[in-house]
Structure 1
């Protein structure tokens, strides 16, 4: 099931970027009023994402969805249909590349996210995967949809919603960790306090936090600190991917923090356009 669909004004912006003054080639060839069909298919195995947006892009230009439809989150095999649209050739050509590329990039993020989630659950079924806010600027709504589609959660939707104390914050403090934690709990009593720590000494000093975020720690060190402070939730961050997620989960990390999906390669979407 798709978590949400991008709003029409955002989709119109995408269409406007690609055809700010219409499609010169289709216009010059005088084929715009011909009736045709646009088919999108998975070229390789993927977890599809963005198919709702692709369908809506077509509808905004008067195209009609027809035949099978694969909602975001559907696992597809090569050759399986994602979406088909019918209508005038002018609209087919304007929608074609924007819809294809959006699905390719979002499906790449969703598929890589799903791979990391599967690996984490192989190590510990209760381990959660969360994705950072390191998405390309301006793409947050789309990329968060892909993360959710792949089975993970956002680590931080924004600076406004979470208490995550970095060393860069602590550089300005002149008080004990206990005093800082008490002050945060007074000011934001409903928020969990997360503290990122760089070594075991820092971890022990900030053990009163709700969650300790271990940045680029070796797996053995994660296991060691979990044994020392079993009541504190551990989040492993930095370099987490499908190859090491199971090991971090087995070592005692309750949360895996990753940016890897945002740098995943697109999942190719095959396109065909034909006269109706």
Structure 2
């Protein structure tokens, strides 16, 4: 899953929790004792973020023996990542790694649930995730939603053109939006111009103003089910998106309206996955105490050493 995390990001996560020292480990004399670390998921989950936790462990001075790749499905009790190294290294990586996995796997698991529900209603409908999440979490949230089967809607303001009612208000109205689009559309030939609408009338105005895509905001699914066929008949080449208030409980209903995609922020606020952590003494090599990681999902193998692939 090719979401790129700079080493400075990994180091920052570590520094937030243990920038100077682990005072508890220092007091207890836990330093170079050979140890093993295991992250285990307590409930069925979609895996995300294990590659970043692997790098985190390495940055703290440990070595990862085995991990499940992001996108795999893990069964209850299955280990997501196994590591070995000096006790002080694993203890430093412990809580940061657990927090990352709980957030990422929670988001990936909810995304997987929503994507499955949408595909059951209409396999042609995409699930897209927004840039609305807590600051600093963009890359991790993106990786988690990709692992769950969604795609990004918009990664930043400079990536796409999306005209909101707030833009219209500042310009003066629909006529001014249309004039601005007409002036610049030739220079934006490689971009799609998306305009938000709150119903059928605004959708028509948006298309008249030059919208390549119409995004409906907070329009109930029963209303969309009436609007979409009429717009499809008049403008068959204009993709239609549903956004605002979409979640696991209503995603299938929205998918059944005939829109091309659902745009949601809800997935970023998933309940964290329940990740257990076990740290214990090793024999110095880790060969005898390495527990089984379980069977990874089809097509998403575990990676590592000690005979596992």
> How many pairs does the alignment contain?
274
CA distance in 1, matches of 2:206, 2:191: 16
State the Cα deviation string for residues 3-57 of structure 1 (Å, max 9, x = none). 3352221111111111111111111111211111101111111101110111111
- Helix, strand or coil for the counterpart of 1:207? helix
- Check the 8 A contact 2:104/2:141 in 1, yes or no: yes
Relative to the length of structure 2, the TM-score reads: 0.85
- Check the 8 A contact 2:31/2:87 in 1, yes or no: yes
Q: Which of these residues, 78, 92, 107, is aligned with residue 76 of structure 2?
A: 78
Q: Which moved more, 1:201-210 or 1:68-77?
A: 201-210
Matching residue of 1:237: 243
- Measure how far apart 1:64 and its partner are: 1.7
- Check the 8 A contact 2:3/2:139 in 1, yes or no: no
Matching residue of 2:200: 200
- Check the 8 A contact 1:5/1:52 in 2, yes or no: no
Matched, 1:135 2:133: yes
- Measure how far apart 1:79 and its partner are: 0.5
CA distance in 2, matches of 1:143, 1:130: 12
CA distance in 2, matches of 1:58, 1:242: 34
Structure 1 portions without partners, runs of 5+? none
CA distance in 2, matches of 1:17, 1:178: 48
Relative to the length of structure 1, the TM-score reads: 0.95
Sort the Cα spacing of 1:178 and 1:7 in 2 relative to 1 into closer, same or farther, 3 A. Answer: closer
Structure 2 portions without partners, runs of 5+? 283-309
- Helix, strand or coil for the counterpart of 2:100? helix
- Helix, strand or coil for the counterpart of 1:4? coil
CA distance in 2, matches of 1:223, 1:204: 16
Matching residue of 2:228: 226
- Check the 8 A contact 1:129/1:256 in 2, yes or no: yes
CA distance in 2, matches of 1:249, 1:211: 17
- Check the 8 A contact 2:108/2:145 in 1, yes or no: yes
- Check the 8 A contact 2:196/2:206 in 1, yes or no: no
- Measure how far apart 1:205 and its partner are: 1.6
Matching residue of 2:287: none
Q: Which of these residues, 263, 274, 280, is aligned with residue 257 of structure 1?
A: 263
- Check the 8 A contact 2:168/2:177 in 1, yes or no: no
Q: CA RMSD in A?
A: 1.5
- Measure how far apart 1:177 and its partner are: 5.7
